Amino acid sequence: MTAATAAAFVPADVAHDGRAAKLGMWIFLATELLFFGGLLVAYAYARTHWPEGFAIASRRTDVVLGTVNTGVLLTSSAVIAFAVACAEDPAQRRWTARALALTAVLGVVFLAVKGVEYAHEWREHLFPLAGFALADVAGAGLFFLLYFVMTGLHALHLLIGIAGVCVFAGATRIAKPWATAPRVEAMALYWHFVDVVWILLYPLLYLVERHA
Amino acid sequence: MKHACLRDHARALAVAWAALLALMLASLGSAYLRLGAGNAAVGLAIAVIKSAIVVWLFMRLRTSSATVRIVAATALATLLLLIGLASVDYATRPVEPAAYELPRQTPSLAGARPVQGAR
């Protein structure tokens, strides 16, 4: 890369650019919160109207894989927070790249486990389609509709996050001038938000009632 | 950031990570207790605490600028406001199954529970 093209990617006022990147990401995440908020309202409505159906349907989700996945995502958040801390010291560039790569790997592990769960649920006829296993339980169809929409949208967000984190991992590794610490932090903000969404989904989908 | 400073930072992150996993296991355990409506309350309360740890420490709201904090607070307040208004709307309406739903999946609750305004 020539000096001229490098300069085009690095604004003159780096500190100002860093603040703008983080503020921009926070504003984007505010809109994302309201996007998932609509689904939370739909869930609250359905669960308060058919509490028994939700309890029966929730017991059919795989709580072991759900808990493992929650642990994987919480760990990935801690790892990318470590990457952000490393990114602030140019001497720790390699550790930044490694932590970002590990974050992406944990994201892929999450999606793989989620895929195993979906396959399991498909075999048990838990997709709310013709031949739905809980067709006689009022509200169970709504639970699994919300389950697949919420986890599906979460998985899509995670996939985008994995792609973004991979780009930053590669760029940091080869010391691209545009991969500045504040931009790595803005990327991490998105990753943490996707983690927060899962933190909320975990008790709502897997833990309605496990006794009885 | 100096090396020693980075080490302290990493230790703080590790403590937060351990707390998150402990809260996750507490949440899992609470689901196996008979708490009635308390099951949902405990599950949600733990989720809110975990989210607060992630937002406060990992997303660094603790040390963020006033502008960022205002954005975060506005987002949360708007979410709660819209959830509240939507709940008022749905709480005062009878349930009518949509055309695509099986009758057994969403039976009308109008007979089982008196709904104000329903005739």
CATH number (domain holding residue A118): 1.20.120.80
Among candidate residues A126, A200, A175, the one with its CA nearest the CA of residue A10: A175
Q: How many independent structural domains does chain A possess?
A: 1
d(CA A81, CA B30): 29
> Is A150 inside any structural domain?
yes
pTM of the model as a whole: 0.88
The total of other beta-carbon atoms located within 10 Å of residue A181's CB is 20
Give the model's pLDDT for residue B56: 95
Give the model's pLDDT for residue B37: 83
Residues B9 and B49 in one domain: yes
Residues B51 and B31 in one domain: yes
> Is A208 inside any structural domain?
yes
> Is B32 inside any structural domain?
yes
User: Could you tell me which residue, B3 or A100, shows the higher pLDDT?
Assistant: A100
> Is A172 inside any structural domain?
yes
Residue numbers of the domain that contains A102 = 63-212
Residues B17 and B35 in one domain: yes
> B residues 51-110 near A, CB within 8 Å?
51, 54-55, 57-60, 64-65, 67-68, 71-72, 74-76, 78-79, 82-83, 86-87, 90, 95, 101-102, 104-107, 109
Kindly tell me if the per-residue pLDDT of A87 is higher than 50. Answer: yes
Rounded percentage of chain A residues whose pLDDT exceeds 90:
74
- Contact call for B67 and A85, based on CB within 8 A: no
Distance from the first to the final alpha carbon of chain B: 69
Q: Quick one: tokens of B32?
A: 């196996």
User: Could you tell me which residue, B79 or A129, shows the higher pLDDT?
Assistant: B79
- Contact call for A192 and B54, based on CB within 8 A: yes
> Is A35 inside any structural domain?
no
> Mean per-residue pLDDT for A8-32?
82
Range name among A32-41, A95-104, A134-143, A152-161 with the lowest pLDDT average: A134-143
pLDDT band, residue A145 (cuts 50/70/90): very high
Length of chain B: 119
Give the model's pLDDT for residue B119: 39
Complex ipTM above 0.90?
Answer: no
A129 touches chain B (CB under 8 A): no
Give the model's pLDDT for residue A4: 54
- Contact call for A23 and B67, based on CB within 8 A: yes
> Mean per-residue pLDDT for A157-181?
94
pLDDT band, residue B116 (cuts 50/70/90): very low
> Is A207 inside any structural domain?
yes
Give the model's pLDDT for residue B99: 65
Cβ contact B25:B46 at 8 Å: no
Residues B9 and B39 in one domain: yes
Residue numbers of the domain that contains B41 = 1-59
What lies within 8 Å, CB to CB, of A154 at 6+ separation is A194, A197, A198, A201
Give the model's pLDDT for residue A49: 86
Nearest chain B CA: its distance from A130 CA (Å): 10
Kindly tell me if the per-residue pLDDT of A8 is higher than 90. Answer: no
